[in-house]
Structure 1
Amino acid sequence: MKSSGNVHAAREDNSGSSRVRLKRTRNAVRFLMLLLLVAAFGLLTLAVLYYTRNTMEAMEMELCQKMQVSVEQTRSNMDYRFLQTAEDASTLMGTLYPYLNSDADTEEQLQEYARICRALIENLDKNMISSLRLYVPDNKIYSGQQTEQYSLRSLCELENEEVLSHKGGVYWMEPHTVKLGMASPVPVISCGLALKSQANYDKWAGVLFVDLDISQFQEIFASAGDGTCLVDGTGKILMDVNGIYAGQGGFTETQMEQIKTEESGYLTDENSIIAFSRLKIRDWYIVASMARHQVQSENIGTVNTIIAMWAVACLALFIIAFTAGYSLILNHTVHNINTAIRTLEMDDAGGQARSSSGRWGKALFASLEYDTEQILRSVADIVEARYKDKLAISEYQMESLQEQIKPHFLYNTLDAIKWMILDEKQDDSVWMVNALSKYLRMSINVGEMIVPLSEELTLTNTYLGIMQKRFSHHFEVEYELDESVMDYLIPKLSLQPLVENALLHGILYCDKEDKRLTIRTWRSGQFFGIEIEDNGNGMPEEDARRLSEMNVHVGGSYGVANVHKRLDIFGHGKLKFGIVSHRGEGTCVTIELPIKRDGM
C-alpha cells in the first residue's frame, strides 16, 4: 500500500509539472502571435504608405506628360497659323509692291487703288485673317482713305514704328487693339511687313499689317485647358483663355530662365506643375500650368481607394488573427481531451494500455499526415492564385497602356480636320473624315488587344495617309515587307506611336528635300522583326541610348516608352528593343518579338 501511494504521488507531481510547462508554452505562443500581428500591421501600414507615395508620383508624372502633349499640340497649331499668315502676307506684299513703288499719275493711281482693294478683299478672312491694313507713301492719292489704306506718316502716330525698325522679313507684334473706321476696337495679334522703295532705299515703299482676331486663338487655348496661355521671354502673359491675365506677370524669373533654357518640356515645384513649348516665330512660349492643390484633388479618388484597400487588408488580418486564436483554443481543447483519454488508458491493464497507446500513436501520425497534405494543397492554391493575379495584372496594364495611345491620336486627327474645315478645304476634310472613320473601325474593337501584323500595318498606313494629307506630301513612305510574318501577332497600336515620333521629331521639320520614312519586316528563327527608319534630324547618341531603356522619357518621347512597356509585357521579357540615331542623318527603331500566332 505504501508503494502504491508513492507511485500515485509521483504521478500527480509529474502531472502538475506538465500542466505548468503547458501553461508557460501557451502563454509564449500567445505573446508570439500578438507580436507577429503587431509587426504585420506595422509592415502593412508602411507598405501602404510607400505604395501611396509611389502611386502619387506616377500619377503626377503621367499628368505632366499629358500636359506636355497638349502644349505641344497647341504650339503646333499656332505655329501653323502664324507661318501660314506670314506666307500670305509675303505673297500679298509681293503683289502690291509694284503699285506702291510706281510714279503713276492720278488716273493710273485710281486704277492702282482698285487693284489694291481687290487684292486686299481676296485675302481677307483667309487663315483667320480678320483685317488688313496697308500703309502707303504720302504722295499716293489714296493714302488718306483710312479704311484699308493709310499714310506712312501715321505709323509714328500709332506707335508702330517697331515694324520699321525691324530689319527684314515678317515681324510679329504683341497682342494689341485695332480700331478700323467707326467700329469698336478689336483685340488682335498682328504681323507687319515693310519694304523699301526701289528708287530710294532710304525711303519706305509701304508697310502691310495682317491682323488676327485673338478670340480665335483663345478657342485653341480653351481646347488645351484653362491653365494654357501665351507668354513672352520675360514671363508676361500675352494671351490666355479668357483674357483675364493678359499683361500680367505669370511666372518667376527662375521659372522663365529654365523655360528659355530648355524651350520644351515641363517643370515642377512645391506650388505648381508647368508644361511649356517655344514658338518658332518669336521668343514666345505656350505654357500650361496647374496648381498643386488641383493635382491633389484630382488624385483624391485614388488615395481613397488605397485607404479602402488598407482597411480591407486590416480586416483580413483581424480575421486571420481571430481564426488563429480560435484554432489555438480548439487545439488546446482537443489536447485536453486527448490527455484525459491517455490518463484513462494508463489506468487500464498493461496490455490494454499498450494497445491504446498504439492506437494513439497511429492517430497522431495520421493527423500529422493529413495536416501536411492540407498545407501542401494550400501552398499550391496560393501559388496558382498569385500566378493568375500576375497574369490579370499584366493584361490590365496592357489595356491601360494601350488606352493612353488612342485619345492622343484621335485628338490630333480631329484637330487637323477642324482646321481644314476652318480653311474651307472641303475635299481634304472629307478625305480626312473617311480616313479617320476607317482607322476607328479597324482599331476600336472591344477585346481585340492583340492583332496580326498585317492589320497593324494597315492601321499604320492609314495614319501615314492622314499625316501626308496634313503636310501636303512633304515626305515619302517606303515598305520593305516579308510576307511570311504578316500573320504574326502584335499588340494593337504599337507601330503608330513610333511612326508619329519619327515624323514629328525626325523628318517633318528638317531641312532636307528628300524626306523619307521606311518600314521593314523580317523573320529570324523564333523571332520576327520590325524596323522604322527615317532620314530626318536624328538625335544625340546618348539620348537614343537612354530612350532605348524602359520607363525613360527624353523630350516628347512618352509614346515610345509607352510602346516599350506594352511590347515587353506582350513578349514576357523576351523583347529586343533598340534605337540607333545620328545627328543630321536620321533615326532607326528596331523591334524583335517572339513569334505568336492565333491559337498559340
Structure 2
Amino acid sequence: MRTFSLARSLHFHKGGMMKRAILLFLLFILMPSACLMVWYYLKTSAILERDMSSSMLQTLKQAEYNLSARLDQVANISDGLIGNPDIRAYLDASSQPSYRQYEIFQTMENSISSAERNRDIRQIRMFVEPGLLFSDEGIHFFPLSAVENTDWYRAAMARNGAIYWRSTFSQPYLASDPADVISAVRILHDPRNYDRTAGMLSIDVPEANLRSIIDKIQFTPSQQVWITDRAGKIVSHHDPSLIGQQGRLTPEQLLTAYQQQEGFFAVEGHPNAMVLFRHIPSADFMIVAEVPMNEVSGESLALTRISAVILLAVFSMLFIFILVVAFAYAAERVNRRVRELILTLKREGVDNLETGRQGNFQDLELGVARMVQTVHDLTSNFYQEKIRARDAQLKALQAQINPHFLYNTLDSIHWMAIRRNADEISHMIESLSTYFRQSLNKGRDVVLLEEELLLIRSYMHIQNTRNDNGIQLDVDIHPEALACYIPKMILQPLVENAVLHGIHQKRPKHGAIRIAADVQDSWLRIQVSDDGVGIPGDRIAALLTPPMSDTDVQSFGLYNVHERVKLISQNDPDSGVAITSIVGVGTQVSIAMKAVTTLSGG
C-alpha cells in the first residue's frame, strides 16, 4: 500500500510535464518579462529626460552666475557708499551750519555721481531726515518720511543693514521717462547712535539688464523664461507687459523650489512640459524656465525609445528561449529521476530506496530551513556586535576631550600664584572644582542641558579670571530645552574654540559669547555664537572631518562633537554640527539632535 501511494504521488507522464512547463512559462517568465519591458521603457524615458534637464540646468546655472556677478557688483558699490565718510558726515550734519552742510553735500554728490558711472546703475537715491539741507533735492536726495509707510521700507528695516532687493517697479525720474528697475535697498544707521535709522540708501538697477541675460537662454521656440521673487511675482520677462504679474508657479511649487538651489519638475496637467529653476541667492530671486519637452527631444527621443524597446524585446525573447530550454532539460532530468524511483519501488520496495541521493526534495527543504535559521542567528549576532561597537566608539570619543582643558587650567593657576598673591586663586580653584564635578558627573555619559550650562559658567569664570573679565556670556535657553538630555561635554569644546580661536585673536581680547537653545518638532537645536575673528570659508569644511594631526586641536574638538552628536542620534542624517562664519564678524556653531527628556532603564 505504501509503495502504491509513493508511486502515485511521483507519477509524471510526458504530456503532464509539458502542461506544467507551459503554465510555469506563462506565470514566471512571460508575464515578468512583459512587466520588465514596460519598466525598462519608462526608465529609459526618465533617464533621457533627466539628462536633458541636467544640460538645461547647466545653462540656467551659467545665467545665474552672470546675474549674481552683476548684482554683487551693485552690492559692492552699496558697501562702498555705506562706508563713505562723506555720507556719514552728511547724515550727522543736522547740527552743522548751512555752509558746512553745503560743503559736505557737494563732496558727497561727487561720490554718488562717480558711483553712477557704473553701467548697471540707473540712479542712486538717498532718503534722509527732512532737517538736513537738500533733503528734498529730488534727484539723489528725498525725505525719509515719504517712504516710512511702504512695504519695502519695512522689509529693509527687518534686514537691519543687509541689502533687500525690491522687485521690479516703475520709477519716475526728473528730465527722463519712467523706467522699470529693481533696487538694492538698505538702511543707514546714525553714526552716533547705531540703533537709530538715519536714512535709507536705494540703488536702482534697470530691469533691462536682467532681461538681456535671460534673453540669451535658448532651449526651444516655445519656451518661457522669467525671473520671479519669493512671492511669485515676475521680476523680469522677455515680454515686459508681464512684469509685476503673478507667475505660473503655484505657492506649493514656489515653496518647494525655494528649498533647493536648483531642480526641475513636470507641469501639472501638461505631461510634456517641464519647469526648471535656479536660485539667485544674492537677491533671493529665482530663474524659471518652462520648456515643452517634445520640442527638446524631437525625433531623437522617440527613436531612442523605440530602439530601446526593440532591443529589450530581442534580449527578452532570447532570455526566454534559454530559460525554456533550461527548464525543459531540468524537467526531463526530474522526470527521469522520478521514473527511476517508481521503477525501484515497484521492483525492490521502499526499503531499498536511496533517500540520500541528489534530488531528494525533503532533504532540500530541511537544508533550506537550517540555512535560514543560521542566517537569522548570524544577523542577530552581527546587530548586537554593532551596537556594542558603537557604544565603545562613543565612550572612546568622549574620553579624549577632558585632559586638554585640565592641563591648561592647572598651568594658569600655577602662573597666577607666581605673579600675584590674590584671593582670585581660591575663586578660580572653586570654579575648577565645579568644572571637574560636572565633567566627571559620576561616570554618566549623558547629562541635562541645565547641568552642562553649570560647567560652561565655571569654565567662563576661569577664563575671565585669567583675562580680566573681557568676555561676556549670554544664555538664552527655552525652559523645555533645559530638561533635555545631551551627551556630556559637547558645549565646552565649542565655547573653548570661541574663546581661544575667536575672541582671543582680537585686539583687545574682548567680546561676547551667546548660547541659545530651544525644542522644535521634537528636535533640540543649540547655537553657540561669538563675535570673534571668524573662520575662513575654505577652513570650515575641514573642521568637521577627521584631523590630519593630533596638534590640530580646534579641528579635533569640533569633529569629536560632530561624531558624538551623530552617534547619540543613531546617525540620523538631519543630526550633527553645522558651522557658519563671517571673517571679521564672528562664528555660529549649530547642533541638531533628537530631543530626549527621559532615559531608558530609569
TM-score range, shorter chain: 0.3 to 0.5
Relative to the length of structure 2, the TM-score reads 0.42
